[in-house]
Chain A
Amino acid sequence: MRGTRLGDRLLHIYTWIIIVWLSSPIAVMILFGFNDKQSKSNTSWQGFTLRWYAELFDIPDLTVALRNSLVVAAASTVITVVIGTMLGLALGRHRFRGQGLTNFLVFAALSTPELVMGASLLSLFVSGNVPRDATTIIISHVLFSLSFVVVTVRARIVTLDPSLEEAARDLGATAWGTFRQVTLPSIMPGVLAGAMLSFALSIDDYVVTSFVNGSTVTFPLWIVGAVKTGIPPQVNVMGTLIFGVGVLIAVGNAVAARRRR
């Protein structure tokens, strides 16, 4: 079995290579958060400083934009995960009328170009006289994340053995009890993956948001606008902090997992 172990080790290294590859631009971003730049442009290295960390909140609009993004991402992720998991369950576990159509809609939401989705949502809101603000951003983010959650959850459900749930019910569990104690734990990896995907989709979205935001500005929107005059290093610092908090959560999780074992 030596060959097997070697293969596993190689795959382990390979996985880390992919993680490093995906994170490589982040290293540049972090670096330029320490750049002691002399003009507005922050693209060539000019020396080390901690100034931008001290002046992190000196650009009030940027701070607000970041906060808006976090609120929108959190809210839309929660909503998407709940209704997406329900829809995924219905599609993956049940037979019902309109199933084909529902599948088609899930596909359609996935394949609508972002620009078209943004523009058509805006027309809808305008014609319904709905003011554009954080709420309309959340509604739109739920729409484009929904399919990702549905598809991920469904891919999980279809590999599950339905007899487990039947057994639970035969043993006298209620429908809700069966769901909570049998179904949910077994689809949890899918739900979690869907949640992470929809958070990433939301916090990074520019195109759709730029249509439905009204005068609410999110982090990506602010940055795209600032490209015209030069992106301030505080943006890098904020990106660094988001990334840093993420790594801390990951490390904390890993440590906790080890303790549990």
Chain B
Amino acid sequence: MNHPPMPRSRRDAFRLAGLSAAGLALAACGVQGQKAAPPKADAVKDFWSKQTKHGSVVFANWPEYMPEDKGPLEKFKQATGISYEYKEVIQENADFFGKADPVLRAGQPLGYDIVVMTNGIQLQHMIELGYVTPLDHSKLPNFAANAGQKYKVRAYDPDNKYTVPYMSGVTGIAYNTKYVDEEITSIASLFDPKYKGRVGMMADAQEVGNFAMFALGIDPEKSTEADWKKAGEKLKAQRDAGIVRKYYDQNYIDAVSKGDVWLTMAWSGDIFQRQLAGEPVAFVVPDEGGTIWTDNMLIPKGAANPVDALMLMDFLYQPAVAAELDEYVQYVSPVPAVQDLLREKAKTATGDDRKSLEDMVDSPLMFPSDADYARLRSYTQLTTQQEQVFNPIFQSVTQA
């Protein structure tokens, strides 16, 4: 068992609530509350001391997020003798949470030992609902030694109690250089009437909220309810002036590369791909600030092989392994040493390989500079009560 033993009756209550689970309860029983008390240090230690290595691990990840030959996982298998199952079962944070919630609420295992989720509302729900197993950092030496400082201090999971980063990316501004003939440096451009109908904003409340706050000079990590309201007003004015063409999810990227929108909020990794494809898109972290987000590895409650999971997490922090992974994924690796390793590799490579490796090493989209990092902020940290205020402010703008 991976969670503290529960009294029998309570587990039955959970099972009953299972019918309700994704929010559908039978009249009499209602949905059980799940708010988790922070785990006591002793309990965590106690839990891990009882776990043993089982020789297998199940890794749930997004498609196209691991080299096709599964190189890093194969090396893990050779090094530790632990066999792996790798499943590309995560398509969307919201959809994945929607599916995981009723299962975990009913006290049943998800069937995965490692899950990758982006920091944001759903990950926070996972942690707050007690669906995530606290990590044992004594078994994560490579993480301690090799992870960048920025990836050890994250507002959404201080001290990496529950998660360690898998890959990161930056939300900034992308613009189509065919249509925009100035250099964009400021978020103010997103609010500039001369780009009326040509601006893309993101539909996600946290993403769009952050940018409005940057524009107002507010640090989202330290923002208050009054700040959110101001930000909401700013976005509403922008929308009502007809500046925004659309509030996008992933498909902003096609829109900007084809010129349907000229400038838009954008994720760094996407734009890097388009640049490699020779499309006329530029990416910038605005002067006022940009958002750094991270896809995180976590061990869900009830996982069958927590020790093996922990070992794999740590293995991915060996610089050589991290470099192999990042060469394929082309996002921001939490291991800074990757840049040097890829630079070394570029020297020995030839032809197209060399060119693409050099592009990667030089790209601020894979290796942001210190100046970039200084301007990057996480999403606003929200409690349950705050969320019920925060979300409607921005959803009433994006979902009118």
A residues in contact (CB < 8 Å) with B: 37-41, 43-44, 46, 58-59, 61-62, 119-120, 122-124, 126-127, 129, 210-211, 213-215, 217, 221-222, 224-230, 232
Contact = CB atoms under 8 A, between A and B. Distances in A.
A11 to B, nearest CB: 36
B89 interface: yes
Given A122-B99, A127-B18, A215-B112, A39 B63 contact: no
A58 B88 contact: no
A164 B60 CA distance: 58
A123 B277 contact: no
Given A119-B22, A229-B64, A210 B257 contact: no
B24 A226 contact: no
Contacts of A40: 64, 273, 276, 330
Contacts of B91: 210, 221, 224-225
Given A40-B330, A210-B91, A222-B63, A123 B20 contact: yes
A229 B88 contact: no
> When A and B form their complex, which 4 residue pairs have the shortest distance between CB atoms, in order from nearest?
A39-B276, A127-B18, A225-B91, A127-B19
Interface of B: 15-16, 18-24, 60, 62-65, 68, 87-92, 95, 98-99, 102-103, 106, 108, 111-112, 250, 253-254, 257, 269-270, 273-279, 329-330
A221 B91 CA distance: 7
Nearest to B21: A123
20 contacts: A40-B64, A40-B273, A40-B276, A40-B330, A41-B276, A43-B257, A46-B277, A58-B68, A62-B63, A119-B98, A122-B22, A123-B102, A124-B19, A210-B91, A215-B87, A215-B89, A224-B91, A224-B92, A225-B90, A229-B269
A217 B278 contact: no
Contacts of A119: 22-24, 98, 102
Given A119-B24, A123-B22, 14 more contacts: A62-B63, A119-B23, A122-B21, A123-B18, A123-B23, A127-B18, A129-B15, A211-B98, A224-B92, A225-B90, A225-B92, A227-B250, A229-B269, A229-B273
B330 to A, nearest CB: 7
B15 to A, nearest CB: 7
Given A39-B277, A210-B99, A126 B60 contact: no
Contacts of A61: 63, 87-88
B277 A217 contact: no
A96 B102 CA distance: 39
A44 B277 CA distance: 8
Nearest to A224: B91
A225 B19 contact: no
Contact of A43 (B108, B269, B277): B277
Contacts of A41: 253, 270, 273-274, 276-277, 279
A120 B98 CA distance: 11
B21 A126 contact: yes
Given A122-B99, A123-B102, A127-B15, A226 B22 contact: no
A225 B98 contact: no
